[in-house]
Structure 1
Amino acid sequence: MSINRVIISGNLTRDPELRCTQSGTAVLSFGVAVNDRCKNQQTGEWEDRPNFVDCTMFGARADSLSRYLSKGTKVSIEGKLRWSQWERDGQKRSKLDVIVDEIEFMSSRDGGGNAYGNQSCNAPAPSNSAPAPVPYDDDIPF
């Protein structure tokens, strides 16, 4: 048996990119910076070393959340790892993505969405009224 679960928290490194498949499924791609603390052997000081994690979210929630995420937003993410490989210019390449199942905002929104806030795969552009709550798949208390 193997377990494929990942939990990370960090800041978005760029505004998310929303695109749609030919069938109309929303695909939201973004990056999260996660710091790793380690001790510098030469100075004895603790240092933060950033790790940059590519994340992908699918479906209606991806479409909805695209309006609320922007570079610098602090989030907590739970998901699973997906490895992909391809060939470019005769060289094999690969990467590891986190496929997002759950996302939680850990910082308040400070005015406006991102540059992609008016794009949507399935929903009309949001009005200027207060944002609707983000839908969740289940409301299980912890």
Structure 2
Amino acid sequence: MANRGVNKVILLGRLGADPDIRYLPNNGGKVVAVRLATSEVWKDAKNVKQERTEWHRVVFFKKLADTAGEYLKKGGQIYVEGTLRTQQWDKNGEKRYRTEVVAHELQMLDRASDTSGTHGTHQSSSASSVPDTADMDEDFDDIPFF
């Protein structure tokens, strides 16, 4: 195993927005992207509570894309296992990069309220607690899907 690397990511967090559903141009396959917030809480030297939120772009393909597109909603808490992938593209002659998590496993821990009530959704009082989206990267539209 010394010659092999490991590329594995495990995240547990809340969705900052509803899924972004798109289709690949060549084969029409579905791609679903979500913004997932994970938070870290600690006390500083003065014993004051500090919190930092990290935003992750998670993409789903094939059957997971179908599930994610249908059932995931803003505020829902999910557990994801996957791998890191960095994309590179040019925009107006400038190289752009984005690292994302390609999901291989998804578990929905709870979901935001479903207004139709058809999915038997249950929600704890903290399920609607979505982190502030002020530092969330909104620039999804200029990223090509490969």
TM-score normalised per structure 1? 0.72
Q: Distance in 2 between matches of 1:108 and 1:19?
A: 22
1:89 Cα offset (Å): 2.6
**Retained in 1: the 8 A contact 2:73–2:111?**
no
1:72 Cα offset (Å): 0.6
1:108 Cα offset (Å): 4.2
Aligned length: 116
* Distance 1:53-1:59 versus aligned 2 partners, 3 A rule: same
User: Which of 36, 53, 56 is equivalent to 2:56?
Assistant: 53
**Retained in 2: the 8 A contact 1:18–1:63?**
no
Match of 2:37 in 1: 33
What's the % identity of the aligned pairs? 27
Q: Distance in 1 between matches of 2:28 and 2:92?
A: 30
1:11 is aligned with what amino acid? Answer: R
> CA-to-partner distance for each residue in 1:11-63, whole Å, 9 max, x for gaps?
0011101111131211001110001224434x432311000000100013312
Unaligned runs of 5+ in 1: 114-127, 132-142
> CA-to-partner distance for each residue in 1:91-136, whole Å, 9 max, x for gaps?
22211100000111111452247xxxxxxxxxxxxxx9x55xxxxx
User: Which of 92, 99, 105 is equivalent to 1:89?
Assistant: 92
**Retained in 2: the 8 A contact 1:68–1:109?**
no
Q: Distance in 1 between matches of 2:57 and 2:112?
A: 22
Q: Distance in 2 between matches of 1:70 and 1:33?
A: 13
TM-score normalised per structure 2? 0.70
* Distance 1:109-1:13 versus aligned 2 partners, 3 A rule: closer
| 1:20 equivalenced with 2:23 (yes/no) | yes
Match of 1:102 in 2: 105
| 1:4 equivalenced with 2:7 (yes/no) | yes
After superposition, the CA RMSD in angstroms is 2.2
**Retained in 1: the 8 A contact 2:75–2:111?**
no
1:74 Cα offset (Å): 0.4
Match of 2:68 in 1: 65
1:73 Cα offset (Å): 0.5
Q: Distance in 1 between matches of 2:47 and 2:86?
A: 36
**Retained in 1: the 8 A contact 2:43–2:50?**
yes
Q: Distance in 2 between matches of 1:11 and 1:97?
A: 16
Match of 1:138 in 2: none
